[in-house]
Amino acid sequence: MAGDPYKELGVARGASADEIKKAFRKLAKELHPDKNPGNTVADERFKRITAAFDLLGDKEKRARFDRGEIDADGREQFRGFGGGGGQTRGGQGGDPFGQGGARQQGFENIDLDELFGGMFGGGARPGGARGGGFANAGLGRGADVKATLEISLEDSISGATRRIQFSDGRTLDVTIPKGAADGQTIRLRGQGAPGVSGRSEAGDALITLKIARHPVFTRDGADLTMDLPITLSDAVLGGKIPVRTPEGAVSMTIPKGSNSGKVLRLKGRGAFADGKRGDLLAKLMVMLPEEENAALTKVAQAMRDAGPFKPWRE
């Protein structure tokens, strides 16, 4: 810590144990890493006030500090040979959560559940919910990191593994589950920011999936819709044609006399919603050849001459 523990806590040298405890409670709630994710200034300040309370919250260590026998980091102060210097006394130098645990390092008079439990969503007892308590956080559980991963419609339906890169240069391979939904969040345990000083667990990486717009298919809940171009001959005579689906082409039967706008359904070839797969709805679009076709022109003229078919309303 290498500072004045009284100044760190903002109390006078003659402050009572209760005053020291109250000052630490107030500062710890303000500066706790779970409340200030990614704030390195608050994180360092939290470590300093924790070390200060470790010293002043222990009656014996506080008395030795006041007598000048140890410094703010708990190091012995040797005098009689030119003063100064110092050798770290085993187990006391700057590790308020060291081998003895929090309650053996000056926290025996603090109810950690009372201090942090309600603030961060869980008990402070060892083994409590992740990210929920002070003992579990140690000097601060690493912050969760969030990112958005854009995937294709095909990936969301069939599943895939995709790589994502974070701002710090790290890359992670993300497994996209089969039937993934737009907006679904994938949690990668321990892949977030590291814990403070390596003493506490790392946070998680929260990857939100975003399904990219598709050039062919449009989502309608669990169903997919598409425009399906067909020839005039297929529309009149019927036949089988290949149809694109998210998992490859399949054969579809076009009924005789099919008009533009007619919708044909491919069962179970759609997307997923609520764990169930929808259908693929293909809307037929009768297409004429771009270049003039003599045979087609002759047929069309004969149809006009024969009448009286008029699909419009007068």
Distances from the Cα of 261 to the Cα of 72, 82, 180, 250, angstroms: 82, 98, 31, 20
pLDDT at 72: 81
Please tell me the distance from the alpha carbon of residue 36 to that of residue 33, in angstroms, as a whole number. Answer: 5
Please tell me the distance from the alpha carbon of residue 62 to that of residue 22, in angstroms, as a whole number. Answer: 16
pLDDT at 2: 54
pLDDT tens-digit series, residues 41-70: 887 888 888 888 888 988 888 998 888 878
pLDDT at 253: 96
pLDDT at 106: 46
pLDDT at 128: 34
Question: Which residues of the chain have a pLDDT value below 70?
Answer: 1-2, 77-140, 197-199, 312-314
pLDDT at 98: 39
Distances from the Cα of 74 to the Cα of 60, 84, 104, 106, 223, angstroms: 11, 14, 15, 13, 68
pLDDT at 314: 59
pLDDT at 199: 64
pLDDT at 1: 53
